[in-house]
Chains A and B, each alone.
Chain A
Amino acid sequence: MELTFLACSLILYLLATAGFVAHLIARDGAPRLPLLLLALAFALDTTALTIRAATLGGFGIVSFHDQLSLLAWLIVGLYLIVQFRYQLAVVGALVSPLAFLLTLSAYIVYAGVQTLPRNLQTAWLPAHVAPAFLGYAVFAVAFCISLIYLLQESQLKGKRRWAMLRRLPSLETLDELNYRFVAWGFALFTIGIITGSLLAKATWGAFWSWEPVQVLSMLAWLLYAVLLQTRSAGWRGRKAAALTIAGFALLVISFFGVNLVFPGRHSGAFG
């Protein structure tokens, strides 16, 4: 049942991607159709997550599959809110395929009903997962914005003109938005790290245990901290965009690495 909803939203994400690209090429009006498709996909994902939570009875994030679909859901939801305020269709053109890939991965790694280890069944787990994943989602949108910044900058610097990229927002707008997103992501991520260490203390008896995911997340956290700190000293624009992208790359490595390469306490199977 949950998978049927996910399959439908996969198709919608693909259609929304095509819609956004068509919108960028046509350059007219508001991207109503792709936004509608995306909102519909979001609704389906919401339903799928609710069904999953009901099946598992309570907190529904127990496997890699759940993490992936939660992330897709958060990113799309966040984008829809941002779009409402800033009208950034070009971000939608990046967010839609990203959501597609995440949902597709979630679909592939689905491994039926799993249960949470008894020692993790505490209120600290959602208190850790919620801000950490929201932070991931915010950083993902910041990553998209930074990519667009670099595209726009290389257009302006190189005096090139790509028909599809005529509608990009100004560098100033992108830089400012990027800053705001990184700041929000940083705050959420910090909370996630704190609650995570409290959760670790409660379940395993230690705040910190040098797990790869912890180390990589800490590195990313430091990178984002540097980015926020140096802005007033002149690290704007291109440098800020590059750092945002690097930080996100670290998060991606830690997120996939922990689940696929070096399983530890953070991996979906909680091996």
Chain B
Amino acid sequence: MKLFEHSNPTSVQEAVKMLSVQNARPIAGGTDLIGVMKDGLLPTDRVVNLKSIPGLDYIKEESGEIRLGALTRIGDIASSSVVAQKAPALAQAALAVASPQVRNMGTLGGNLAQKVRCWYFRDSDRADCYKRNGSYCYAVFGLSDVHAIFDGAACFAVQPSDSATALSALGANIVVAGPEGETVIGVDDFFIGPHVDYLRETILSPEQIITEVRIPASAVGQKSVFLKAAPRRSIDFARTNVAALVIGDPVQTVRLTLGAVAPTPRRATEVEAFLVGKRLTAEVIGQAARLAVNGAQPLASNGYKVQLAQGLVRQALTRLAG
């Protein structure tokens, strides 16, 4: 690891200021950034430690919303009774993240703003990868087990966050602080694909940070579910995950999001439109599952994700039907 400067801001404004130099990166739990730095994947000259900012670690209910500070650790979300009762998909997603050790370090903000896990990107020898400002995607004619079946464009890395999928289904909003002050943005608009900018996975500019995540009142207390499939029952990033929120029977409101199948969490809007007004019978669920993978374009070795996504959607909706 190269030498770098480490700074401890005590306020969000100070952090934003410290981030305004080149190759400055925010750190919270460090479970992602340290690996990126050790492998020399992205040049890093300054690390801005967000943990020194007080008051960003909380789970509270306010104006009917659940608000989570960006520094809330994943493990605390997984064990929060408020989240478990009122936003079950997020609690289940938090519990599905990595291992207990990582959950006890990693934060919600970091989980949303982490870099992709593409195995070519993470190989320090593959410096010409798009995500490293290069010009090639090894996944197209390489091994694509962990890559996108939807919306790949030049780069085929997927958004690895489990919590992002759950928050998308919950219709959450993200509070972002930057030099121009605070903005609130929906999760679905927070993530961007390579067609927009292959160097970033989110709208965050280098000097912007996440300060809070808000689960809207409309989703609080509603039935929701998160499911994840990964090689192992612990530790691994999702090969596919799914989260769904269903209100009403017949369905009045439904939000369904697939994760790890596309460069961003992928709302299944076609499925949502199909489900509104219907009862979640086995047949309807089967049709919805098929519709969820409509238009998938797998690469050489991620075709299994099409079947897997379908299976997970079926199981998720079946649970919400019960």
A binds B: no
| Residue positions of B touching A, CB distance < 8 A | none
